[in-house]
Amino acid sequence: MADDAVRSRETMMFSHSPADDPSSLGRALPPSFVIGTATASAQIEGATTSGRRSPSVWDRFSAQPGRILDGSTTVVTADHYHRHAEDVGLMAELGADAYRFSLGWTRLQPGGSGRLDPEGVAFYDRLLDELHQAGIAPFVTISHWDVPEEYEQGWLSRDTAYRLGEFAGLVAERFGDRVGSWITINEPATVTLNGYALGLHAPGQALLFDAMPTVHHQLLGHGLAVQALRAAGVPGQIGITNVHTPVVPASDTEEDAMMAALFDVVHNRVFADPVLRGRYPQVPDELAPMFAAFAEVPADDLALISQPLDFYGLNYYMPSRVAAGAGSGESPDGMSEAMTELPFRLETFEEYPTTGFGWPIAPDCFGTALAEVQERYGDVLPPVYITENGASFPDELDPATGVVQDDARIDYLAGHLRAALDAVAPGGPAEGLDLRGLFVWSLLDNWEWAAGFTQRFGIVHVDFDTLERTPKASYRWLQDVLRARREV
């Protein structure tokens, strides 16, 4: 029976459907729908000793024994710092419309204070110039987790929000004329949950609900960054990126329903509601002590946080199934002792195949995520970009053919892109949502945070010994999708 279940799950993962056909999918894309790739500076740049770059919290975290699964560090990663021209060439050959990347905070502002460093500025000048020469639109993320290590309390300190606002003003003045789209901060939910509540990511604190102040400080940093960008008069559009997961209870019991609602608030709504509604969500009285950090938030803070945006960035990877009661400590991102102290646990989705990370592959839930934000935020929801969507698989380069045949990723990307288009089409669950584009995570196999080099998300294979790049079958598939769109 177990073997049959495994075969069934493998069949689900690798069975192609007509929707996977790149020609038909390409023809289904609206002409203005943006297709891009995405990366983050800490995961691909390397060159941590070049110039005056100072350590970030992730440099410090990765140097601590036992923090990173394979013991790897940020020192080299994919060496994009020295190979950016090659990587832009790969995007141009792909036919990508846009490239979402993040600015290395400690490369541009060593020590987290003062003027921008000329050598760091020169690197991003070159990258932006190369992108424009290739006809690829830059989507620039100002803060993607690599906070300067000098900020000892990190996002537990309100001061870090002001430092982000100052940094945003500096980069706006330097790069604003060449950036058409700005993202203030990436996935504050993951930073709070994995970095401060569960101890899985940098800075490695396991504070559980005492981590809630980091929610407000990150969102305040977002608001201050928006203010700085607008004060600098940048012509580009401005948004934020949050990761959303549709949440379902593990059973029809009242206890599971309450814990599922709690997880929805913790993961989704405390990050989206203040940005889009200007207030934190209400919770039942019995849960209120967990959210005491939001009990007396200054009105001026909420006004900053909820400034109108030009777009909302939504990252989607998976749904979550939640049950009441403590679990084993296993999370989608690794083992956390702190999770055993929570009043809920995450359950698996046996009905779905999984990625290399063990995450459920559920494109139908992608439509649910879009429908939920549409229903919750309605008229105050600006146009939406899917700023990350992708999956890790144990890809291998065939030495005989030089090919990485990542059929599972093709299935994943095709299913999710089709699900997104269907969700916002007439009669779809998110009809009326203004969906503007999708960014594939990721362009390159990279250093996957606490998982090190053990998880490959890229549509381009990277040999982490030689740093050679090899486009995978999924790259060629996406190239065909974009070619078919251009031929319509």
Catalytic residues: 388
Bridge partner residues of 162 (DSSP):
none
CA distance 189 to 153: 17
CA distance 352 to 196: 30
Helix then strand then coil, % of the chain, to nearest 5: 45, 15, 40
CA distance 25 to 410: 12
DSSP state of 144: S
What backbone torsions phi and psi does residue 81 show, to the nearest 5 degrees? Answer: -55, -40
Contact (Cβ atoms closer than 8 angstroms) between residue 302 and residue 278 = yes
Burial 434-473 (b: 16+ CB within 10 A, else e): ebbbbbbbbbbbbbbbbbbbebbbbbbbbebeebebbbbb
DSSP state of 116: P
Tokens describing residue 385: 């970009």
